[in-house]
Chains A and B, each alone.
Chain A
């Protein structure tokens, strides 16, 4: 700060430890006696896909011609045991987000947009709604600890089942939906009193551990005639072991969600201080699959902070079969639109920062149950925006893949990547740019 100061004083200086945010949070905690709750994923800066670069073709490799030479994007999920695996046109799926966390209009928009793009959506903690089943041509049905709305009819009419062990924003935590979003319809679906603060259990009620999970997966297959692929979703913590155990338990697909993955509502301290960055989780997960000779036989879907086609391509190059997007999908629908900045400011936030999804006051009509706010989201127009965004993600992935000489996006490989930092090189298991050095490996 410039200007003169009283004699004997130096310019005011903020502490790096007790910075503006830390001080404000202590004041807030002292005033309210409750931890801070919010939506979104980890916002702190962690090594991410921006720290990786692709090595395009040159003399030692040759590229594929854009627009003329094919670069395929289709993905088949659930080939291990399911009689009816899922065929997706693109390697980008829509992650599980509940009706309750999102408005009915938002769920419908996600279903319509994903269907137009040839991919799947996923239910969430609130169960399956008729809007989403009708709108979504390929629907993955989550089996969560809460079991809200769980029933065998929906199990039979879904296209895949996702057993949720955890999610990246809060691995080891359960779901949360605060009273202001427990409307009559949400309460009815979840069999709860209207207006209470709903907390889901963090463990499944009828199984604990991988041996039980094996039997639980078997039961789900028995109920659904062994038709549906069964996914197991884990938050990224010990990905090598968790993926290995999920494979041994009989999963067809493993979904791995890093700490940048979003949530509708959980404690800030959980989001920011528990879990692994997505970048650090992928190589151990792929290593587990390779060690079990199950790479590409059990498919890997990665989520948590996927923003653009470069991120998609990097995840595929590191060995995954597809990505899932949640936060990015909501942004595509219209979340955090700069046009709504004035309205965000009225509720204590700002466009680009809005994460108070738990409050249910979203001016974009997405993370709300308020009927007047929900009306602001036109599901057909929003679906088109999502479809556009998914098309761009796919084209960007293809551009990079062709530049690396790949005729299918799943042919991207670690050898196509280098890292800009020592941390990213170590986490992703690729060399530091301009060297042959992968930190931590001989």
Chain B
């Protein structure tokens, strides 16, 4: 295992090392100590390595991740795994706002709670949250899946496109054009596989499904109150 102590080394040096690794590297296991809220830790990784961050990184940890597995043994700041392309990011604690924002692929697991706008504008990422999500989560969510084991804050899925939302707990309110949909056996099985992939213990049958009513895809004056 390679260990980098951010108390001794800067984020630039760490990221340059990790981004410089080749696809066939044998330096596959990394540990980062003393993140202490530093930003953009492990952002822009490209190869299938595993990075363990011991502590609490700041904003944009694992931003635009491709192929790597990044595990945060702590909480994290805004925008974790923003625009992730592939790979896995796991937060053992809580995530702040905009977790998984605009993510296009891969799996983001937040074992604790996520703040507001979790999965905002998601474009194919799968997000599984063991706890709750905050206000306006899955806002303008285009594709991918968000599964929430706890409660969801207000305006869930506002202006949603074709992303699939699954919530086990209570929902404070649904956003514009987001409606409850039928949870069929097909959806239960898909969710069960997602939860298994995320290593989150929950019964998929206890979740409800939400998605777009598709009334706002083309403007009509009768829907003006929804805008």
* Chain A interface residues toward B at CB < 8 A: 32-34, 146-147, 150-152, 155, 179, 191-193, 195-197, 201, 205-207, 212, 215-216, 218-219, 222-226
Which stretch from B106-114, B116-124, B188-196 is at the chain A interface?
Answer: B116-124
Q: From the candidates A146, A205, A223, name the one contacting B98 in the complex (CB within 8 A).
A: A205
B82 adjacent to chain A (CB < 8 Å): yes
- By the criterion CB–CB under 8 Å, are A192 and B66 in contact? no
Known: A205-B98, A207-B79, A219-B63. A197 touches B219 (CB 8 A): yes
Given A205-B139, A224-B44, output 15 extra A-B contacts at Cβ < 8 Å: A33-B221, A33-B224, A150-B102, A152-B64, A197-B217, A212-B78, A216-B60, A218-B39, A219-B40, A222-B40, A222-B43, A223-B40, A223-B44, A225-B16, A225-B19
How far, in angstroms, from A222 to B40 measured CA to CA in the complex?
7
- By the criterion CB–CB under 8 Å, are A192 and B142 in contact? yes
Residues of A within 8 A of B83 (CB): 147, 150-152
* Closest beta carbon of chain B to A172's beta carbon, Å: 16
Residues of A within 8 A of B79 (CB): 206-207, 219
Q: From the candidates A147, A150, A151, A219, name the one contacting B59 in the complex (CB within 8 A).
A: A219
B72 adjacent to chain A (CB < 8 Å): no
- By the criterion CB–CB under 8 Å, are A191 and B124 in contact? yes
B209 adjacent to chain A (CB < 8 Å): no
The 6 closest A-B pairs by CB, nearest first: A33-B221, A223-B44, A206-B79, A147-B102, A196-B217, A206-B101
- By the criterion CB–CB under 8 Å, are A219 and B39 in contact? yes
* Closest beta carbon of chain A to B140's beta carbon, Å: 6
How far, in angstroms, from A222 to B101 measured CA to CA in the complex?
18
Residues of A within 8 A of B19 (CB): 225
- By the criterion CB–CB under 8 Å, are A147 and B218 in contact? no
* Range of interface residues on B (Cβ < 8 Å): 35 or more
Interface majority SS (helix, strand, loop, mixed), chain A:
loop
Residues of A within 8 A of B58 (CB): 215
B90 adjacent to chain A (CB < 8 Å): no
In the complex, the chain A residue whose C-beta lies closest to that of B15 is A222
How far, in angstroms, from A152 to B85 measured CA to CA in the complex?
8
Known: A201-B121, A205-B102, A206-B82. A34 touches B40 (CB 8 A): no
Known: A193-B161, A205-B101, A218-B39. A223 touches B123 (CB 8 A): no
10 sampled A-B residue pairs with Cβ under 8 A:
A152-B66, A179-B218, A193-B162, A196-B161, A201-B140, A206-B101, A207-B98, A216-B60, A219-B40, A225-B16
- By the criterion CB–CB under 8 Å, are A222 and B44 in contact? yes
How far, in angstroms, from A223 to B224 measured CA to CA in the complex?
41
* Closest beta carbon of chain A to B122's beta carbon, Å: 9
Known: A147-B121, A152-B64, A219-B63. A191 touches B78 (CB 8 A): no
In the complex, the chain A residue whose C-beta lies closest to that of B224 is A33
Residues of B within 8 A of A193 (CB): 161-162, 217
* Closest beta carbon of chain A to B104's beta carbon, Å: 7
B46 adjacent to chain A (CB < 8 Å): yes
- By the criterion CB–CB under 8 Å, are B64 and A215 in contact? no
* Closest beta carbon of chain B to A156's beta carbon, Å: 8
* Closest beta carbon of chain A to B105's beta carbon, Å: 10
How far, in angstroms, from A103 to B121 measured CA to CA in the complex?
25
B197 adjacent to chain A (CB < 8 Å): no
- By the criterion CB–CB under 8 Å, are A226 and B12 in contact? yes
B11 adjacent to chain A (CB < 8 Å): yes
* Closest beta carbon of chain B to A395's beta carbon, Å: 43
How far, in angstroms, from A216 to B224 measured CA to CA in the complex?
34
B155 adjacent to chain A (CB < 8 Å): no
- By the criterion CB–CB under 8 Å, are A191 and B221 in contact? no
- By the criterion CB–CB under 8 Å, are B63 and A197 in contact? no
How far, in angstroms, from A206 to B40 measured CA to CA in the complex?
13
- By the criterion CB–CB under 8 Å, are B64 and A191 in contact? no
- By the criterion CB–CB under 8 Å, are A207 and B78 in contact? yes
How far, in angstroms, from A70 to B94 measured CA to CA in the complex?
62
- By the criterion CB–CB under 8 Å, are B117 and A196 in contact? no
- By the criterion CB–CB under 8 Å, are B60 and A192 in contact? no
- By the criterion CB–CB under 8 Å, are B218 and A206 in contact? no
- By the criterion CB–CB under 8 Å, are A151 and B64 in contact? yes
B143 adjacent to chain A (CB < 8 Å): yes
